[in-house]
Amino acid sequence: MAFIFAVMRATLDFVNTVFDHYNVLCFGGRLPRLPIRLTDSLTHLGAFVHPKVWPASRPRGAGECHMRISRCLDRSEDELVDTIVHEMIHYYIWYTHTVDDGPHGRQFLALMNDINRRLGLTMSVRGLTTSETLDSDTRIKPHLICITHWRDGRRLITVCARKRLFEIHAAFTACPRVIAVEWWWSADPWFNRYGLSRTAKAMLISDTDYDKHVATATPCTCDGHKFQPITARQPSSKP
Ligand SMILES: [Zn+2]
């Protein structure tokens, strides 16, 4: 099997190195380092967490917020950098009291687009409408992929809405016409072509597409309550 790019998992050292580098390049070095928490989340690749309510007069500091980055899955270095810099933009907007008109409002998008253009990053945000073709939808999003094997020999795919994962799993495992259920995780933008299923609806997937996109994804298990990669590491030790 040929690897197109090197894959890695986030470490504290890596996140801090990227933070320091892009802090200088993008934010004039203005952002103080903030606590980084590595998570085992499959559904949130990153998050910037800060208090919802904040008196206007009170200065905003790094001790009041933190950044979460998932180390759960192998990702390309470029994808990880995109995630970290995305969260840094949220941090910058919060830290500098910038008023924006949404979570990914005009100020956010202006910064993101400027950084993408200047530094060759490929950050994007969910929910942006696009008139481009499916193959040019290159947004990096986590996908929870269910492959079902049916009694009549067909192999079908369902890309699941996160909140319906366990309901969909229960529906397929209870279905007598389904003989096997496999789960996969992938950030491959190819899966963006499937809308997120909220019910156990499945679509045909060709052998070529399966081999190219599913078989190269991260195999996962679902027991009806817990969804995790088969190669899951031990949970992090609590501080
Ligand atoms: Zn965001």
Categorize the per-residue pLDDT at 187 as very low, low, confident or very high, splitting at 50, 70 and 90: confident
Mean pLDDT of 152-177: 89
- Confidence (pTM): 0.58
Tokens at 121, concatenated: 């990053």
Answer yes or no: is pLDDT of 146 > 90: yes
pLDDT of residue 204: 85
pLDDT category, 73, cuts 50, 70, 90?
confident
Distance 17 CA to ligand 1 centre (A): 20
pLDDT in the model for residue 183: 94
Residue 7: closest CA among 59, 79, 110, 68: 79
**Predicted local confidence at residue 38, as pLDDT:** 95
pLDDT in the model for residue 181: 94
Q: How far is the CA of 87 from the centre of ligand 1 (A)?
A: 6
**Placement of tokens 């890309």 in the chain:** 159
| Å from CA of 232 to ligand 1 middle | 26
C-beta separation of 161 from 191 below 8 A? no
Residue 106 Cα to ligand 1 middle (Å): 12
In b/e form, how buried is each residue of 144-181, taking b as 16+ CB within 10 angstroms? bbbbbeeeeeebbbbbbeeebbeebbebbeeeeebeeb
Stretch 133-145: mean pLDDT, rounded? 68
Q: Where are the domains of the chain?
A: 7-119, 143-229
More confident residue, 79 or 112: 112
Residue 207 has pLDDT above 80, yes or no: yes
How far apart are the CA of 109 and the centre of ligand 1, in A?
Answer: 10
Write out pLDDT tens, residues 96-138: 989 998 888 999 999 999 999 999 998 988 643 333 334 555 6
pLDDT bucket at 231, cuts 50 / 70 / 90? low
Q: How far is the CA of 124 from the centre of ligand 1 (A)?
A: 9
Asked if pLDDT for residue 4 goes beyond 60, the answer is no
Q: Which residues lie below 8 Å from residue 32, measured CB to CB, with a gap of 6+?
A: 61, 62
| Angstrom distances, CA of residue 95 to CA of 60, 105, 117 | 6, 16, 23
Question: What are 46-63's pLDDT values in tens digits?
Answer: 999 998 877 777 788 888
For 7-119, which CATH class? alpha beta
pLDDT at 103: 86
Distance 219 CA to ligand 1 centre (A): 27
